[in-house]
Amino acid sequence: MIAVLALQGAFIEHRQMLQRLGVDTVEIRQLKDWERFMASPFEGRALILPGGESTVQMRLLKDLGLFEPIRQAILNGLPVLGTCAGMILLSEGYLGTMHIRVRRNAYGRQLGSFHTVGRVEGVGDDVPMTFIRAPYIEAVLSPDCQAIAEVDGHIVAARQGNQIALAFHPEVGTDTRLHQLLLSL
């Protein structure tokens, strides 16, 4: 069972991607949703922090009492995939579970959005990468965190133990490899 933070942003697309893989999902909108998910006997639990507006998502995490429970679950080993705004949420200064420093809106406004393909270490070549007002990783801050993809000299994906952070949106295409990577954790 995969939980998808459904406060704002591209959560529906992640659920649709996981449905294609035959994986059950649950939307996390309130603390009681999170508590029910964490109390469930499901094996293979994981969390997706979707793209959207990181400032809004962060405020809602705090206002709804989700910030600390989600942070602790990630620190205790819950696998998590953060895409775009979700990557920002994992970074230093936000949830702070991943040792990365992120530059928000690094590729500019909506008009700066673009699509490319690239190599993602542990996933393969020709991985579709759709960047929408995307951040990138300015720095990996510890040796236990590794850059796993770059575009034009900028780190756009990293992995640290149970955490995967992507500056791009794998949920908007048809390639399921990055969601399968999350499921393998």
The stretch 87-101 carries a mean pLDDT of 97
Residue 175 DSSP symbol:
-
> What is residue 41's predicted lDDT score, i.e. its pLDDT?
82
Rounded CA-CA distance 57/38 in Å is 20
Residue 93: pLDDT above 60? yes
State the virtual CA torsion across 86, 87, 91, 93 in degrees, nearest 10.
-50
Asked if 148 and 12 touch (Cβ cutoff 8 Å), the reply is no
Asked if 164 and 181 touch (Cβ cutoff 8 Å), the reply is yes
Give yes or no: 154 in active site.
Answer: no
Listed in sequence order, the residues at least 6 apart from 167 whose beta carbon sits closer than 8 Å to its beta carbon are: 84, 87, 106, 131, 134, 135, 136, 137, 156, 157
Q: Where are the domains of the chain?
A: 2-184
Fold assignment, 2-184? Rossmann fold (3.40.50)
- Of the candidate ranges 81-95, 101-115, 122-136, 143-157, the one whose mean pLDDT is the lowest: 101-115
Asked if 117 and 128 touch (Cβ cutoff 8 Å), the reply is yes
State the virtual CA torsion across 69, 50, 64, 98 in degrees, nearest 10.
40
Of 13, 14, 99, 171, the catalytic one is 171
Of 14, 84, 99, 145, the catalytic one is 84
If you search the block for the tokens 């059950």, which residue do you land on?
24
Taking only the tens place, the pLDDT of each residue in 130-141 is 998 899 999 999
For the chain, give the percent of residues with pLDDT over 70. Answer: 97
Residue 110: pLDDT above 60? no
Of 14, 99, 169, 179, the catalytic one is 169
Residue 104 DSSP symbol:
T
Taking only the tens place, the pLDDT of each residue in 10-41 is 899 999 999 999 999 999 999 999 999 999 88
Q: pLDDT averaged over the chain?
A: 94
Give yes or no: 84 in active site.
Answer: yes
Asked if 96 and 71 touch (Cβ cutoff 8 Å), the reply is yes
Listed in sequence order, the residues at least 6 apart from 43 whose beta carbon sits closer than 8 Å to its beta carbon are: none
> What is residue 45's predicted lDDT score, i.e. its pLDDT?
95
State the virtual CA torsion across 155, 161, 166, 167 in degrees, nearest 10.
-50
CA of 40: how far to CAs of 26, 36, 43, 81, in Å?
11, 6, 9, 20
Residue 107: pLDDT above 80? no
